[in-house]
Structure 1
Amino acid sequence: MSDVQFFEARDGVRLAWRELGEGRPLLLLHGLFSSAEVNWVKFGTAARIAAEGYRVIMPDLRIHGDSEAPHEEEFYPPDVLVRDLEDLIAHLALTDFDLGGFSLGARTSARAVVAGMKPRRLILGGMGLAGLAGWAKRGQFFKRVIAEYESAKRGDDTWLSIQFMKTMKVDRIGAGHLLDSFTDTPPEALAALTMPVLVVCGEQDQDNGSAPELVATLADARLATIPGTHMSSVTQPELGEAIAAFLTA
Protein backbone atom coordinates (compact mmCIF):
# COMPACT_ATOMS: atom_id res chain seq x y z
CA MET A 1 0.00 0.00 0.00
CA SER A 2 1.39 3.37 -0.95
CA ASP A 3 1.42 6.17 1.58
CA VAL A 4 -1.02 9.01 1.27
CA GLN A 5 -0.14 11.54 -1.44
CA PHE A 6 -1.36 15.11 -1.86
CA PHE A 7 -2.16 17.57 -4.64
CA GLU A 8 -3.78 20.99 -4.82
CA ALA A 9 -7.19 21.44 -6.37
CA ARG A 10 -7.78 24.46 -8.62
CA ASP A 11 -8.98 26.52 -5.61
CA GLY A 12 -5.87 25.70 -3.56
CA VAL A 13 -7.49 23.12 -1.27
CA ARG A 14 -5.11 20.27 -0.40
CA LEU A 15 -6.56 16.90 -1.31
CA ALA A 16 -5.28 13.40 -0.61
CA TRP A 17 -5.21 10.16 -2.55
CA ARG A 18 -3.85 6.64 -2.18
CA GLU A 19 -2.80 4.04 -4.74
CA LEU A 20 -2.52 0.28 -4.83
CA GLY A 21 -1.22 -1.90 -7.65
CA GLU A 22 0.13 -1.28 -11.13
CA GLY A 23 -1.48 -1.39 -14.57
CA ARG A 24 -4.61 0.12 -16.04
CA PRO A 25 -5.87 3.06 -13.94
CA LEU A 26 -9.12 2.68 -12.01
CA LEU A 27 -10.33 5.63 -9.94
CA LEU A 28 -12.52 4.62 -7.00
CA LEU A 29 -14.45 7.21 -4.97
CA HIS A 30 -15.65 6.44 -1.44
CA GLY A 31 -19.01 7.11 0.17
CA LEU A 32 -20.23 10.03 2.28
CA PHE A 33 -18.40 10.45 5.63
CA SER A 34 -16.08 7.53 4.74
CA SER A 35 -12.55 7.56 3.28
CA ALA A 36 -10.43 5.72 0.74
CA GLU A 37 -8.86 3.71 3.56
CA VAL A 38 -12.15 2.57 5.11
CA ASN A 39 -14.15 2.10 1.90
CA TRP A 40 -11.59 0.39 -0.34
CA VAL A 41 -8.44 -0.66 1.56
CA LYS A 42 -9.55 -1.92 4.97
CA PHE A 43 -11.75 -4.77 3.73
CA GLY A 44 -9.55 -5.86 0.82
CA THR A 45 -11.56 -4.51 -2.12
CA ALA A 46 -8.67 -2.50 -3.60
CA ALA A 47 -6.23 -5.39 -3.19
CA ARG A 48 -8.64 -7.77 -4.96
CA ILE A 49 -8.92 -5.41 -7.95
CA ALA A 50 -5.18 -4.61 -8.01
CA ALA A 51 -4.49 -8.37 -8.24
CA GLU A 52 -6.12 -8.30 -11.69
CA GLY A 53 -3.48 -5.86 -12.97
CA TYR A 54 -5.01 -2.53 -12.03
CA ARG A 55 -3.58 0.67 -10.62
CA VAL A 56 -6.31 1.51 -8.11
CA ILE A 57 -6.37 5.27 -7.41
CA MET A 58 -8.46 6.25 -4.40
CA PRO A 59 -8.93 9.92 -3.49
CA ASP A 60 -10.17 11.17 -0.14
CA LEU A 61 -12.99 13.46 -1.21
CA ARG A 62 -13.01 17.07 0.04
CA ILE A 63 -13.73 17.16 3.85
CA HIS A 64 -13.04 13.41 4.13
CA GLY A 65 -10.05 11.38 5.32
CA ASP A 66 -6.75 13.22 4.90
CA SER A 67 -8.16 15.93 2.60
CA GLU A 68 -8.76 19.46 3.82
CA ALA A 69 -12.17 20.70 4.99
CA PRO A 70 -12.27 24.49 4.60
CA HIS A 71 -15.12 26.24 6.42
CA GLU A 72 -15.85 29.01 3.89
CA GLU A 73 -18.84 28.51 1.57
CA GLU A 74 -16.82 29.69 -1.45
CA PHE A 75 -14.96 26.36 -1.45
CA TYR A 76 -18.17 24.41 -2.14
CA PRO A 77 -19.62 25.46 -5.53
CA PRO A 78 -22.09 23.10 -7.25
CA ASP A 79 -20.49 19.76 -8.17
CA VAL A 80 -17.18 20.69 -6.50
CA LEU A 81 -16.37 16.98 -6.13
CA VAL A 82 -16.53 16.59 -9.92
CA ARG A 83 -14.06 19.46 -10.28
CA ASP A 84 -11.77 17.82 -7.72
CA LEU A 85 -11.91 14.56 -9.67
CA GLU A 86 -11.07 16.40 -12.90
CA ASP A 87 -8.13 18.05 -11.13
CA LEU A 88 -6.78 14.73 -9.85
CA ILE A 89 -7.02 13.18 -13.32
CA ALA A 90 -5.17 16.19 -14.76
CA HIS A 91 -2.56 16.01 -11.98
CA LEU A 92 -1.91 12.34 -12.78
CA ALA A 93 -2.07 12.98 -16.56
CA LEU A 94 -4.57 10.16 -17.06
CA THR A 95 -6.21 9.82 -20.48
CA ASP A 96 -7.58 6.27 -20.56
CA PHE A 97 -9.05 4.97 -17.31
CA ASP A 98 -12.01 3.32 -15.61
CA LEU A 99 -14.06 5.07 -12.92
CA GLY A 100 -16.33 4.04 -10.10
CA GLY A 101 -17.54 4.72 -6.62
CA PHE A 102 -19.81 3.78 -3.76
CA SER A 103 -22.86 5.84 -2.79
CA LEU A 104 -21.63 9.48 -2.87
CA GLY A 105 -18.68 8.19 -4.90
CA ALA A 106 -21.10 6.64 -7.40
CA ARG A 107 -23.12 9.88 -7.57
CA THR A 108 -19.94 11.87 -8.18
CA SER A 109 -18.81 9.42 -10.88
CA ALA A 110 -22.15 9.69 -12.68
CA ARG A 111 -22.13 13.49 -12.38
CA ALA A 112 -18.60 13.54 -13.86
CA VAL A 113 -19.74 11.56 -16.90
CA VAL A 114 -22.77 13.84 -17.34
CA ALA A 115 -20.28 16.75 -17.25
CA GLY A 116 -18.27 15.19 -20.08
CA MET A 117 -15.78 12.79 -18.49
CA LYS A 118 -15.25 9.67 -20.60
CA PRO A 119 -14.06 6.65 -18.61
CA ARG A 120 -13.99 3.41 -20.58
CA ARG A 121 -16.06 1.62 -17.92
CA LEU A 122 -18.12 2.84 -14.98
CA ILE A 123 -18.95 1.25 -11.61
CA LEU A 124 -21.88 2.53 -9.53
CA GLY A 125 -21.92 0.91 -6.07
CA GLY A 126 -24.69 1.23 -3.50
CA MET A 127 -26.75 3.25 -5.95
CA GLY A 128 -30.29 3.18 -7.30
CA LEU A 129 -32.18 5.53 -9.57
CA ALA A 130 -33.57 7.68 -6.74
CA GLY A 131 -30.07 8.29 -5.37
CA LEU A 132 -29.23 10.13 -8.57
CA ALA A 133 -32.55 11.68 -9.58
CA GLY A 134 -33.98 12.37 -6.12
CA TRP A 135 -30.97 13.54 -4.13
CA ALA A 136 -32.87 16.36 -2.41
CA LYS A 137 -34.81 13.94 -0.17
CA ARG A 138 -31.70 11.98 0.77
CA GLY A 139 -29.84 15.25 1.34
CA GLN A 140 -32.41 16.36 3.90
CA PHE A 141 -31.66 13.24 5.95
CA PHE A 142 -27.95 14.08 6.10
CA LYS A 143 -28.76 17.68 7.03
CA ARG A 144 -30.60 16.22 10.04
CA VAL A 145 -27.60 14.00 10.82
CA ILE A 146 -25.50 17.15 11.20
CA ALA A 147 -28.22 19.08 13.07
CA GLU A 148 -28.79 16.20 15.54
CA TYR A 149 -25.07 15.45 15.98
CA GLU A 150 -25.11 16.22 19.71
CA SER A 151 -28.75 15.42 20.53
CA ALA A 152 -29.62 12.13 18.79
CA LYS A 153 -30.35 9.12 20.96
CA ARG A 154 -29.77 5.43 20.27
CA GLY A 155 -32.70 4.21 18.14
CA ASP A 156 -33.14 7.51 16.26
CA ASP A 157 -32.91 7.13 12.48
CA THR A 158 -29.86 9.42 12.43
CA TRP A 159 -27.99 7.62 15.23
CA LEU A 160 -25.85 5.22 13.17
CA SER A 161 -24.81 7.88 10.67
CA ILE A 162 -23.84 10.22 13.52
CA GLN A 163 -21.74 7.50 15.17
CA PHE A 164 -20.00 6.88 11.84
CA MET A 165 -19.32 10.62 11.44
CA LYS A 166 -17.84 10.73 14.94
CA THR A 167 -15.67 7.66 14.30
CA MET A 168 -14.41 9.20 11.05
CA LYS A 169 -13.91 12.66 12.69
CA VAL A 170 -15.80 14.40 9.89
CA ASP A 171 -15.82 18.21 10.08
CA ARG A 172 -19.47 19.22 10.47
CA ILE A 173 -19.14 22.72 9.04
CA GLY A 174 -17.39 21.48 5.91
CA ALA A 175 -19.87 18.59 5.63
CA GLY A 176 -22.83 20.98 5.72
CA HIS A 177 -21.37 23.09 2.92
CA LEU A 178 -20.50 19.98 0.89
CA LEU A 179 -24.10 18.71 1.09
CA ASP A 180 -25.22 22.04 -0.38
CA SER A 181 -22.93 21.49 -3.39
CA PHE A 182 -24.73 18.33 -4.55
CA THR A 183 -27.14 18.53 -7.47
CA ASP A 184 -29.78 16.16 -8.85
CA THR A 185 -29.25 14.09 -11.99
CA PRO A 186 -32.57 13.76 -13.84
CA PRO A 187 -33.11 10.36 -15.53
CA GLU A 188 -32.83 11.88 -19.02
CA ALA A 189 -29.30 13.14 -18.20
CA LEU A 190 -28.25 9.51 -17.66
CA ALA A 191 -28.29 9.10 -21.45
CA ALA A 192 -24.69 10.37 -21.21
CA LEU A 193 -23.72 7.08 -19.55
CA THR A 194 -23.16 5.15 -22.77
CA MET A 195 -20.17 3.07 -21.61
CA PRO A 196 -20.52 -0.36 -19.95
CA VAL A 197 -21.75 0.17 -16.39
CA LEU A 198 -21.73 -2.16 -13.39
CA VAL A 199 -24.39 -1.41 -10.77
CA VAL A 200 -23.37 -3.34 -7.64
CA CYS A 201 -25.65 -3.19 -4.61
CA GLY A 202 -26.32 -5.01 -1.35
CA GLU A 203 -29.39 -7.25 -1.39
CA GLN A 204 -30.82 -5.31 1.59
CA ASP A 205 -29.71 -1.90 0.35
CA GLN A 206 -32.52 0.44 -0.68
CA ASP A 207 -30.88 3.59 0.73
CA ASN A 208 -30.46 5.16 -2.71
CA GLY A 209 -33.55 3.64 -4.31
CA SER A 210 -33.83 0.71 -6.70
CA ALA A 211 -30.66 -0.65 -8.33
CA PRO A 212 -32.68 -2.64 -10.95
CA GLU A 213 -34.50 0.59 -11.91
CA LEU A 214 -31.14 2.27 -12.45
CA VAL A 215 -29.90 -0.61 -14.59
CA ALA A 216 -33.07 -0.44 -16.70
CA THR A 217 -32.50 3.29 -17.34
CA LEU A 218 -28.94 2.90 -18.63
CA ALA A 219 -27.85 1.95 -22.15
CA ASP A 220 -25.36 -0.80 -21.26
CA ALA A 221 -25.61 -1.79 -17.60
CA ARG A 222 -25.53 -4.98 -15.60
CA LEU A 223 -26.53 -5.63 -12.00
CA ALA A 224 -24.49 -7.48 -9.38
CA THR A 225 -26.28 -8.13 -6.09
CA ILE A 226 -24.02 -8.80 -3.11
CA PRO A 227 -24.75 -9.56 0.57
CA GLY A 228 -25.49 -6.77 3.00
CA THR A 229 -27.09 -3.42 3.70
CA HIS A 230 -25.84 -0.01 2.56
CA MET A 231 -23.44 0.13 5.51
CA SER A 232 -22.31 -3.51 5.51
CA SER A 233 -22.01 -4.33 1.79
CA VAL A 234 -18.71 -2.42 1.50
CA THR A 235 -17.20 -4.79 4.08
CA GLN A 236 -17.98 -7.90 2.00
CA PRO A 237 -15.40 -9.67 -0.21
CA GLU A 238 -18.14 -10.00 -2.82
CA LEU A 239 -17.80 -6.28 -3.61
CA GLY A 240 -14.23 -6.68 -4.83
CA GLU A 241 -15.13 -9.93 -6.60
CA ALA A 242 -18.00 -8.28 -8.49
CA ILE A 243 -15.86 -5.31 -9.59
CA ALA A 244 -12.95 -7.56 -10.62
CA ALA A 245 -15.29 -9.80 -12.64
CA PHE A 246 -16.78 -6.79 -14.43
CA LEU A 247 -13.41 -5.26 -15.27
CA THR A 248 -11.95 -8.52 -16.60
CA ALA A 249 -15.01 -9.77 -18.50
Structure 2
Amino acid sequence: MSDVKTDFVEGFGGAKLALHTMGDTGGRPLVLLHGLFSSAEVNWIKFGNAKILADAGFEVFMPDLRAHGQSDAPHDADAYPSDVLVRDLKAVIGSLGLSEYDLGGFSLGARTAVRGVLAGLAPQRLVLGGMGLTGLSGWAKRSAHFVDAIDRFGTIERGDKAFVAQAFMKSMKIDRVAARLLLGSVDDTAPDAIAQVTMPTLCVCGADDRDNGSAQDLAAALPQGTYAEVPGNHMSSVTFKDLGRAIAGFLG
Protein backbone atom coordinates (compact mmCIF):
# COMPACT_ATOMS: atom_id res chain seq x y z
CA MET A 1 0.00 0.00 0.00
CA SER A 2 1.13 3.55 -0.72
CA ASP A 3 2.50 5.33 2.31
CA VAL A 4 0.10 7.49 4.27
CA LYS A 5 1.42 10.76 5.69
CA THR A 6 -0.37 12.31 8.67
CA ASP A 7 -0.15 15.98 9.57
CA PHE A 8 -2.30 18.21 11.75
CA VAL A 9 -4.03 21.40 10.65
CA GLU A 10 -6.04 23.94 12.59
CA GLY A 11 -9.81 23.88 12.30
CA PHE A 12 -12.50 26.13 13.75
CA GLY A 13 -11.63 27.49 17.17
CA GLY A 14 -8.10 26.14 16.96
CA ALA A 15 -9.10 22.46 17.06
CA LYS A 16 -6.35 20.15 15.80
CA LEU A 17 -7.54 18.09 12.86
CA ALA A 18 -5.61 15.06 11.65
CA LEU A 19 -5.04 15.16 7.90
CA HIS A 20 -3.97 11.94 6.18
CA THR A 21 -2.46 12.17 2.70
CA MET A 22 -1.80 9.47 0.12
CA GLY A 23 -0.50 9.75 -3.43
CA ASP A 24 2.22 11.62 -5.27
CA THR A 25 2.72 15.29 -4.54
CA GLY A 26 1.48 17.19 -7.55
CA GLY A 27 -1.27 14.71 -8.35
CA ARG A 28 -4.77 16.08 -8.84
CA PRO A 29 -6.05 17.05 -5.37
CA LEU A 30 -8.98 15.03 -4.02
CA VAL A 31 -10.41 15.74 -0.57
CA LEU A 32 -12.38 12.86 0.97
CA LEU A 33 -14.53 13.07 4.11
CA HIS A 34 -15.49 10.02 6.17
CA GLY A 35 -18.80 9.14 7.81
CA LEU A 36 -20.22 9.44 11.33
CA PHE A 37 -18.40 7.49 14.06
CA SER A 38 -15.81 6.41 11.47
CA SER A 39 -12.41 7.81 10.42
CA ALA A 40 -10.30 8.35 7.32
CA GLU A 41 -8.52 5.10 8.15
CA VAL A 42 -11.69 3.00 8.24
CA ASN A 43 -13.65 4.63 5.41
CA TRP A 44 -10.88 5.24 2.90
CA ILE A 45 -7.51 3.72 3.79
CA LYS A 46 -7.98 0.33 5.49
CA PHE A 47 -9.80 -1.43 2.67
CA GLY A 48 -7.73 -0.06 -0.20
CA ASN A 49 -9.98 2.55 -1.78
CA ALA A 50 -7.63 5.47 -1.11
CA LYS A 51 -4.80 3.48 -2.72
CA ILE A 52 -6.92 2.92 -5.84
CA LEU A 53 -7.39 6.67 -6.12
CA ALA A 54 -3.73 7.44 -5.38
CA ASP A 55 -2.67 4.91 -8.02
CA ALA A 56 -5.06 6.63 -10.46
CA GLY A 57 -3.01 9.82 -10.12
CA PHE A 58 -4.74 11.67 -7.31
CA GLU A 59 -3.17 13.21 -4.24
CA VAL A 60 -5.80 12.18 -1.72
CA PHE A 61 -6.35 14.36 1.36
CA MET A 62 -8.43 12.70 4.10
CA PRO A 63 -9.13 14.65 7.29
CA ASP A 64 -10.50 13.06 10.43
CA LEU A 65 -13.58 15.09 11.33
CA ARG A 66 -13.58 16.74 14.74
CA ALA A 67 -14.65 14.29 17.47
CA HIS A 68 -13.39 11.44 15.26
CA GLY A 69 -10.17 9.56 14.64
CA GLN A 70 -7.03 11.42 15.65
CA SER A 71 -8.65 14.85 15.61
CA ASP A 72 -9.56 16.87 18.69
CA ALA A 73 -12.86 16.13 20.41
CA PRO A 74 -13.60 19.20 22.53
CA HIS A 75 -16.35 19.03 25.17
CA ASP A 76 -17.15 22.75 25.02
CA ALA A 77 -20.49 23.42 23.33
CA ASP A 78 -19.02 26.60 21.79
CA ALA A 79 -16.75 24.33 19.71
CA TYR A 80 -19.80 23.06 17.80
CA PRO A 81 -21.61 25.98 16.12
CA SER A 82 -23.95 25.31 13.23
CA ASP A 83 -22.14 23.63 10.31
CA VAL A 84 -18.85 23.45 12.22
CA LEU A 85 -17.75 20.62 9.92
CA VAL A 86 -18.07 22.98 6.96
CA ARG A 87 -15.92 25.53 8.80
CA ASP A 88 -13.35 22.80 9.39
CA LEU A 89 -13.50 21.71 5.75
CA LYS A 90 -12.88 25.28 4.58
CA ALA A 91 -9.93 25.48 6.99
CA VAL A 92 -8.45 22.25 5.61
CA ILE A 93 -8.80 23.37 2.00
CA GLY A 94 -7.35 26.77 2.91
CA SER A 95 -4.39 25.22 4.72
CA LEU A 96 -3.63 23.15 1.62
CA GLY A 97 -3.91 26.18 -0.63
CA LEU A 98 -6.25 24.37 -3.01
CA SER A 99 -7.99 26.23 -5.81
CA GLU A 100 -8.67 23.38 -8.26
CA TYR A 101 -9.69 20.15 -6.55
CA ASP A 102 -12.35 17.47 -6.35
CA LEU A 103 -14.34 16.76 -3.20
CA GLY A 104 -16.02 13.61 -1.94
CA GLY A 105 -17.60 12.23 1.17
CA PHE A 106 -19.37 9.22 2.58
CA SER A 107 -22.59 9.56 4.62
CA LEU A 108 -21.94 12.43 7.08
CA GLY A 109 -18.97 13.29 4.87
CA ALA A 110 -21.26 13.51 1.84
CA ARG A 111 -23.67 15.69 3.78
CA THR A 112 -20.75 17.94 4.81
CA ALA A 113 -19.52 18.15 1.21
CA VAL A 114 -22.96 19.33 0.02
CA ARG A 115 -23.19 21.85 2.85
CA GLY A 116 -19.71 23.06 1.89
CA VAL A 117 -20.73 23.66 -1.71
CA LEU A 118 -23.84 25.54 -0.56
CA ALA A 119 -21.54 27.63 1.68
CA GLY A 120 -19.36 28.67 -1.25
CA LEU A 121 -16.83 25.90 -1.86
CA ALA A 122 -16.34 25.22 -5.57
CA PRO A 123 -14.85 21.78 -6.23
CA GLN A 124 -14.71 20.93 -9.89
CA ARG A 125 -16.33 17.54 -9.30
CA LEU A 126 -18.20 16.08 -6.35
CA VAL A 127 -18.66 12.53 -5.04
CA LEU A 128 -21.48 11.70 -2.62
CA GLY A 129 -21.26 8.21 -1.13
CA GLY A 130 -23.98 6.47 0.87
CA MET A 131 -26.33 9.42 0.53
CA GLY A 132 -29.86 9.88 -0.79
CA LEU A 133 -32.15 12.85 -1.21
CA THR A 134 -34.08 12.28 2.01
CA GLY A 135 -30.83 11.79 3.90
CA LEU A 136 -29.94 15.41 3.18
CA SER A 137 -33.35 16.88 4.01
CA GLY A 138 -34.24 14.55 6.89
CA TRP A 139 -31.13 14.86 9.03
CA ALA A 140 -33.07 15.74 12.20
CA LYS A 141 -34.68 12.28 12.27
CA ARG A 142 -31.40 10.55 11.45
CA SER A 143 -29.56 12.53 14.10
CA ALA A 144 -32.16 11.64 16.72
CA HIS A 145 -31.42 7.95 16.08
CA PHE A 146 -27.74 8.45 16.91
CA VAL A 147 -28.42 10.69 19.91
CA ASP A 148 -30.64 7.93 21.26
CA ALA A 149 -27.82 5.41 20.75
CA ILE A 150 -25.45 7.69 22.67
CA ASP A 151 -27.90 8.28 25.49
CA ARG A 152 -28.63 4.57 25.91
CA PHE A 153 -25.04 3.45 25.29
CA GLY A 154 -24.13 0.29 27.16
CA THR A 155 -27.74 -0.82 27.65
CA ILE A 156 -28.76 -1.49 24.03
CA GLU A 157 -29.32 -5.17 23.29
CA ARG A 158 -29.10 -7.08 20.04
CA GLY A 159 -32.27 -6.65 18.00
CA ASP A 160 -32.68 -3.01 19.02
CA LYS A 161 -32.50 -0.61 16.05
CA ALA A 162 -29.66 1.25 17.80
CA PHE A 163 -27.53 -1.85 18.44
CA VAL A 164 -25.36 -1.46 15.33
CA ALA A 165 -24.62 2.19 16.15
CA GLN A 166 -23.66 1.22 19.71
CA ALA A 167 -21.36 -1.54 18.46
CA PHE A 168 -19.67 0.78 15.97
CA MET A 169 -19.14 3.46 18.61
CA LYS A 170 -17.54 0.84 20.86
CA SER A 171 -15.21 -0.43 18.14
CA MET A 172 -14.19 3.11 17.17
CA LYS A 173 -13.79 4.28 20.79
CA ILE A 174 -15.97 7.31 20.09
CA ASP A 175 -15.97 10.19 22.57
CA ARG A 176 -19.72 10.24 23.13
CA VAL A 177 -19.85 13.68 24.77
CA ALA A 178 -18.13 15.26 21.77
CA ALA A 179 -20.13 13.18 19.29
CA ARG A 180 -23.42 14.28 20.84
CA LEU A 181 -22.41 17.93 20.59
CA LEU A 182 -21.34 17.42 16.97
CA LEU A 183 -24.67 15.85 16.03
CA GLY A 184 -26.42 19.03 17.13
CA SER A 185 -24.30 21.16 14.79
CA VAL A 186 -25.38 19.50 11.53
CA ASP A 187 -28.24 21.13 9.62
CA ASP A 188 -30.85 19.83 7.19
CA THR A 189 -30.47 20.66 3.51
CA ALA A 190 -33.72 21.62 1.82
CA PRO A 191 -34.51 19.61 -1.34
CA ASP A 192 -34.76 22.76 -3.46
CA ALA A 193 -31.21 23.73 -2.48
CA ILE A 194 -29.86 20.73 -4.40
CA ALA A 195 -30.28 22.66 -7.65
CA GLN A 196 -27.43 24.91 -6.49
CA VAL A 197 -24.99 21.97 -6.60
CA THR A 198 -24.15 22.40 -10.26
CA MET A 199 -20.81 20.61 -10.74
CA PRO A 200 -20.68 17.03 -12.12
CA THR A 201 -21.62 14.83 -9.16
CA LEU A 202 -21.38 11.08 -8.61
CA CYS A 203 -23.91 9.51 -6.25
CA VAL A 204 -22.40 6.14 -5.37
CA CYS A 205 -24.20 3.80 -3.01
CA GLY A 206 -24.28 0.19 -1.87
CA ALA A 207 -26.91 -1.98 -3.52
CA ASP A 208 -28.41 -2.75 -0.10
CA ASP A 209 -27.93 0.71 1.43
CA ARG A 210 -31.16 2.55 2.20
CA ASP A 211 -29.98 4.34 5.35
CA ASN A 212 -30.11 7.80 3.79
CA GLY A 213 -32.84 7.27 1.23
CA SER A 214 -32.47 6.83 -2.51
CA ALA A 215 -29.16 7.75 -4.14
CA GLN A 216 -30.89 7.41 -7.51
CA ASP A 217 -33.35 10.13 -6.49
CA LEU A 218 -30.50 12.35 -5.39
CA ALA A 219 -28.67 11.87 -8.69
CA ALA A 220 -31.87 12.70 -10.58
CA ALA A 221 -32.36 15.90 -8.54
CA LEU A 222 -28.85 17.17 -9.23
CA PRO A 223 -28.23 19.27 -12.36
CA GLN A 224 -25.30 17.01 -13.34
CA GLY A 225 -25.90 13.93 -11.21
CA THR A 226 -24.71 10.40 -12.07
CA TYR A 227 -25.62 7.26 -10.13
CA ALA A 228 -23.36 4.25 -9.58
CA GLU A 229 -24.18 1.12 -7.59
CA VAL A 230 -21.55 -0.83 -5.66
CA PRO A 231 -21.89 -3.92 -3.45
CA GLY A 232 -22.81 -3.76 0.21
CA ASN A 233 -24.98 -1.92 2.69
CA HIS A 234 -24.29 1.31 4.56
CA MET A 235 -21.70 -0.30 6.82
CA SER A 236 -20.05 -2.67 4.34
CA SER A 237 -19.91 -0.76 1.05
CA VAL A 238 -16.67 0.99 2.10
CA THR A 239 -15.01 -2.42 2.50
CA PHE A 240 -15.32 -3.23 -1.22
CA LYS A 241 -12.76 -1.89 -3.68
CA ASP A 242 -15.66 -1.34 -6.08
CA LEU A 243 -16.21 1.96 -4.26
CA GLY A 244 -12.74 3.26 -5.10
CA ARG A 245 -12.99 1.98 -8.66
CA ALA A 246 -16.35 3.72 -9.17
CA ILE A 247 -14.96 7.00 -7.86
CA ALA A 248 -11.79 6.71 -9.97
CA GLY A 249 -13.86 5.90 -13.04
CA PHE A 250 -16.06 8.95 -12.53
CA LEU A 251 -13.21 11.34 -11.83
CA GLY A 252 -11.23 9.91 -14.73
TM over 0.5: yes
Q: Structure 1: which 5+ runs fail to align?
A: none
1:88 paired with 2:92, answer yes
* Aligned ranges 1:95-244 → 2 under 5 Å: 95-244=99-248
One-letter amino acid of the structure 1 residue matched with residue 218 of structure 2: L
Q: CA RMSD in A?
A: 0.7
Hey, what does 1:32 align to over in structure 2?
Answer: 36
**Could you tell me which amino acid in structure 2 is paired with residue 91 of structure 1?**
S
Partner of 2:124: helix, strand, or coil?
coil
Q: Aligned equivalents of 1:132 and 1:70: distance in 2? A: 26
- Deviation digits for residues 85-143 of structure 1 (CA, Å, limit 9, x no counterpart): 00011111111100000000000000000111000000000000011011111111011
State the SS of the aligned residue for 2:234.
coil
**For the residues of structure 2 that align with 1:97 and 1:19, how far apart are their CA atoms?**
14
SS of 2:18's partner is strand
The alpha-carbon deviation at position 237 of structure 1 amounts to 1.0
What per-residue deviation string (whole Å, max 9, x for no partner) do you get for residues 4-37 of structure 1?
2101124111111100002000000000000000
Which moves more between the two structures, 174-183 or 147-156?
147-156
Counterpart of 1:9 (choices 8, 11, 33) is 11
Secondary structure of the residue that 2:243 maps to in structure 1?
helix
Aligned to 1:54: 58
CA distance in 2, matches of 1:215, 1:237: 22
Q: Does 1:69 align with 2:73?
A: yes
Checking the alignment, whether the CA contact within 8 Å between 2:206 and 2:230 is kept in structure 1 is yes
TM-score between both structures, scaled by the size of structure 1: 0.98
Given that 2:21 and 2:60 are in contact with CA atoms closer than 8 Å, whether structure 1 keeps it comes out as yes
Quote the sequence identity (%): 55
- The residue type paired with residue 143 of structure 2 is G
- Which amino acid letter does the alignment assign opposite residue 60 of structure 1? D
- Moved >4 Å (runs of 4+): none
Q: Letter of the aligned partner of 1:7 in structure 2?
A: V
The structural deviation recorded for 1:168 is 0.6
* Cα deviation, residue 2, structure 1: 2.6
- Count, aligned residues: 248
What is the distance in 1 between the residues matched to 2:47 and 2:63?
17
- Structure 2 counterpart of 1:19, one-letter code: T
Unmatched segments (≥5 aa) in structure 2: none
* Residue among 20, 23, 47 paired with 1:21: 23
